[in-house]
Amino acid sequence: MTSERSSRKGGRSRDPRGERGIPEATVARLPVYLRALTSLSDSDVSTASSEDLATAAGVNSAKLRKDLSYLGTYGTRGVGYDVNYLRYQIAREIGLTQDWSVVIIGIGNLGHALANYSGFASRGFQVTALLDSDSARVGEAVGGLKISSLDDLDAIVQDNTVAIAVIATPAEAAQEVCDRLVAAGVSSILNFAPAVLSVPGHVDVRKVDLSIELQILAYHEQRKAQGVLADLDELEAGAI
């Protein structure tokens, strides 16, 4: 997994309330299922088996069935799942039946790209503000929005009832921006800055770190290369 939850340790068993809690690993896959269902729906497929869905989502069918069983019993034995019905149920479970207001902090290279990314709006996430600490950039228009000053954070968060923020600042600024976000009432943060953020327990942080991903790939790549060398050694040693 690329990202980590920094708060909320427990899975469903530690839930103080008795209500259905969905395992974290399952939650992380629901959006993938949703995408697969949307794709099938666009292809006018009205019913799909767990095997079909699993293939489309790139997972094993038993896992998919167990994941879906946490939401309820939405399938029909001997038939499969109604694509549109299941799609709605997952969307509702994730919370995509309502719109979410998102602000992006730090409009550098990455912030720019995120502001122009169309994939957000299509899923019910609306970027309502772009903030930057550089006063020279305030007022500049990016992706149909004007950049606001970081000083207006509190007002912006309150006016738009923002719960989710995206940090795309340099690493040095990330913790301070994070603190201000939390103070303003934001309780979910997507962090692109290569920095460890410390937040109060009620705030969720997810991290996306490009250079970490590359390093993980490099590790395995190096390992493959070593394996080849070792195989050659064995070959020379006449072991095979």
Binding residues among 122-181 for DNA as defined by CB under 7 A? none
Beta-bridge partner residues of 149: 132
Which lies closer to DNA via its Cβ, residue 10 or residue 108?
10
* Residue 116, number of CB atoms within 10 A of its CB: 12
Distance, in Å, from the CA atom of 120 to the CA atom of 114, rounded to the nearest integer, reads: 9
Binding residues among 169-228 for its own copies as defined by CB under 8 A? 187-190, 194, 196-198, 202, 204, 206-224, 227
CB burial string 209-236: b at 16+ within 10 A, e below: beeeeeeeeeeeeeeeeeeeeeeeeeee
Which lies closer to its own copies via its Cβ, residue 62 or residue 217?
217
119 forms part of the interface with its own copies (CB under 8 A): yes
Residue with tokens 């994939």: 119
Among 13, 44, 58, 73, binds its own copies (CB under 8 A): 58
Among 34, 83, 107, 153, binds its own copies (CB under 8 A): 34
Which lies closer to DNA via its Cβ, residue 65 or residue 112?
65
Q: Quick one: how far is CA 58 from the chain centroid?
A: 17
Tell me the three state secondary structure of residue 184.
helix
Among 37, 114, 129, 131, binds its own copies (CB under 8 A): 114
Crossing angle of helices 50-57 and 24-42, in 10° steps, is: 100
CA angle 186, 190, 194 (to 5 degrees): 125
Q: In what order do the strands lie in the sheet with 164-167?
A: 141-142, 145-149, 125-132, 100-105, 164-167, 188-191, 204-207
Report the nearest approach of its own copies to the CB of residue 90 (Å): 10
Binding residues among 74-113 for DNA as defined by CB under 7 A? 74-81
Q: What is the largest CA-CA distance in the chain?
A: 74
Binding residues among 129-168 for its own copies as defined by CB under 8 A? 163-164
Question: Would you give the binding string for DNA spanning residues 29-68, x where CB under 7 A is met?
Answer: -------------------xxxx-------xxxxx-xx-x
Which lies closer to DNA via its Cβ, residue 83 or residue 105?
83
- Residue 201, contacted partner among its own copies, DNA, none, CB below 5-8 A by kind: none
Chain residues in the site for DNA (CB under 7 A): 9-14, 23-26, 48-51, 59-63, 65-66, 68-69, 73-81
